Chains A and B, each alone.
Chain A
Amino acid sequence: MAMIVRCPNPEDTEALGASLGRHAMPGTVVALSGDLGAGKTVFARGVGAGLGVTTRVQSPSYIIVQSHEGGRLPFAHADLYRLGDADELEQLGLDDVLDAGGMVLIEWAERFPEVLPTDHVVCVIREVADGRAVELSATGPSAQQLLEKL
């Protein structure tokens, strides 16, 4: 199943992210893609707000992965654009966050598809004439269950 949500304003993109954050389950993995400036950080900020994290969600492009605390679930936000090779994936500590019952949001996961578990949410933000269109789809039953709650 895929659902497409129209987001005319950045606030709508953020609200959609917040809804995902509110319903995320321990072990939820989201692959987030979209062009530069599409609103990935805005969406991620919404996810953080939905989870109730107390740390600020900024772009992790430079530091590659940022962990957030204080929320309903531990939350790791990663951007694999600058990652050199797949050997480095384990250094990011994403598995630790998932093992601890957390949620992981990964930008540029398409560079290293092996980072994604079989069952995950795919979120693609596209620019359209009247703002953004966010397409959400599930690759397995848990992800499907999550999308149905949004």
Chain B
Amino acid sequence: MNVLGIESSCDETAASVVGATGVLSDVVHSQVIHAEYGGVVPELASRAHVEKMGTVVRAALSEAGIERPDAVAATAGPGLIGAVLVGLSFAKGLAAAWDVPFLGINHLEGHLLSALLEDPAPAFPFLGLVVSGGHSTVYLARDVGNYTVLGETIDDAAGEAFDKTARMMRLGYPGGPVVDRLAAEGNPKAVKFPRPRPGDLDFSFSGLKTAVRTHVQKKDRASDVDVCASFQAAVVDCLLGRVKEAAERTGVRRLALAGGVAANSELRRRALELDLDVFVPPKNRCTDNGAMIANAGRQRLIRGERHAMDLGARPGWRVDE
């Protein structure tokens, strides 16, 4: 069964076809324009998604070499409602025209199940660390559709901490790749940044951001590369510290990484050193993409699911509902 997946919940307009043999096509049009310092994203408008959607979907179908998939899945939330609606409406239109099942997918479930696209793929149950600009969550995935949040951020997301650190240091946008690159040349022990442990298995990155700002305002501050390396080490310590606790608490020994921050080289390197079976998707499957939506749609379709055409966009949809 070939499933077309469409993603438009934030900055990316993406479409992909996933079949029994894996990803047949994966097309992403990023709307992130590398803006001047500070990094405002100029084109979040649903208009931009509308302009790109047809081209992106056509490219995904043509690369996959199919004219009509067996189902169409699209992100239904969480995300900016105007942006989500573009992909969701487009998907419903296609499903109706082709007379094939339609599925509305939670964007975070898409990330969480990304590891199932790889070989080897984790068996259920597994722990999922989904870290991006908008989310930092440790999940326990027992099966498709059966997820528990073990811990999440109480303030800023990890990716947001990267972006804001880069902004404070005037390194450009997006912050993740640039901090990653500079950190590779720095000393992670140069600056002692906080590693807060709020309740349960939650994260907090707001204080770290403030600590970076306080440090870089000092006269005898460390070099950019050292600050980046020390900041990144603190983020990775917090993330993986919680993952270790989650593994101890649940007894689950498999871990899947996902989300844009999972493209960070230090997080990937240190996750692989954990005494767990770690599944790390390639970097292009960490950031937002259509394949993860097609995959989640396909997993649900295989289990006999299909959704009604009146399924609406859900801007604040939690994956554990």
Q: Which residues of A line the B interface, CB within 8 A?
A: 35-37, 41-42, 45, 55-56, 58-59, 61-69, 81-85, 87-88, 91-93
**Bound state CA distance, A71 and B72, in angstroms?**
36
| B154 in contact with A64 (CB, 8 Å) | no
Interface centre among A36, A42, A66 (most CB of B within 10 A): A36
Shortest CB-to-CB span from B184 to chain A, Å, is 25
Q: What are 11 sample pairs from A and B whose C-beta atoms fall under 8 A apart? A: A36-B213, A37-B210, A37-B213, A42-B206, A45-B155, A61-B156, A61-B163, A61-B164, A82-B44, A84-B43, A91-B83
Contacts of B155 in A (CB 8 A): 41-42, 45, 58-59
| A88 in contact with B44 (CB, 8 Å) | yes
Contacts of A41 in B (CB 8 A): 155-156, 206
Shortest CB-to-CB span from B132 to chain A, Å, is 8
Name the contact of B80 in the complex, choosing from A42, A65, A85 (C-beta under 8 A): A65
| B40 in contact with A84 (CB, 8 Å) | yes
| B134 in contact with A63 (CB, 8 Å) | yes
Contacts of B270 in A (CB 8 A): none
0/1 per residue, B148-188, Cβ < 8 Å to A?
00001111110110011001100000000000000000000
Q: How many residues of B contact A (CB 8 A)?
A: 38
Contacts of B318 in A (CB 8 A): 55
| A81 in contact with B40 (CB, 8 Å) | yes
| A58 in contact with B153 (CB, 8 Å) | yes
Interface centre among B10, B78, B80 (most CB of A within 10 A): B80
| B209 in contact with A36 (CB, 8 Å) | yes
Per DSSP, are chain A's interface residues mostly helix, strand or loop, or mixed?
Answer: loop
Contacts of A81 in B (CB 8 A): 40
Contacts of A85 in B (CB 8 A): 42, 45
Having A59-B160, A83-B40, one finds 6 other A-B pairs with CB under 8 Å, namely A41-B206, A58-B154, A61-B163, A62-B159, A63-B10, A67-B316
Of chain A, the residue at the smallest CB distance from B318 is A55
| A58 in contact with B157 (CB, 8 Å) | yes
Shortest CB-to-CB span from A103 to chain B, Å, is 16
Of chain A, the residue at the smallest CB distance from B314 is A67
Shortest CB-to-CB span from A45 to chain B, Å, is 7
Interface centre among A65, A66, A67, A91 (most CB of B within 10 A): A91
| B315 in contact with A37 (CB, 8 Å) | no
Report if A62-B160 is in contact (Cβ < 8 Å); known contacts: A67-B315, A84-B45, A87-B47: yes
Contacts of A66 in B (CB 8 A): 316
| A82 in contact with B316 (CB, 8 Å) | no
User: Is B81 positioned at the interface, with any CB of A under 8 Å from its CB?
Assistant: yes
**Bound state CA distance, A85 and B43, in angstroms?**
8
Shortest CB-to-CB span from A32 to chain B, Å, is 14
**Bound state CA distance, A84 and B315, in angstroms?**
19
Contacts of B163 in A (CB 8 A): 61
**Bound state CA distance, A91 and B134, in angstroms?**
18
A-B pairs, 6 with minimum CB distance: A91-B82, A37-B210, A62-B134, A62-B133, A84-B42, A59-B156
**Bound state CA distance, A65 and B41, in angstroms?**
15
| A56 in contact with B152 (CB, 8 Å) | yes
Of chain B, the residue at the smallest CB distance from A59 is B156
Of chain B, the residue at the smallest CB distance from A63 is B134
User: Is B2 positioned at the interface, with any CB of A under 8 Å from its CB?
Assistant: no
Shortest CB-to-CB span from A148 to chain B, Å, is 30
Of chain A, the residue at the smallest CB distance from B38 is A81
Within 8 A of A (CB), among B9-68: 10, 40-47
0/1 per residue, B280-317, Cβ < 8 Å to A?
00000000000000000000000000000000000110
User: Is B79 positioned at the interface, with any CB of A under 8 Å from its CB?
Assistant: yes
Shortest CB-to-CB span from B283 to chain A, Å, is 19
0/1 per residue, B87-111, Cβ < 8 Å to A?
0000000000000000000000000
Report if A82-B40 is in contact (Cβ < 8 Å); known contacts: A58-B156, A59-B160, A62-B159: yes
Shortest CB-to-CB span from A138 to chain B, Å, is 28
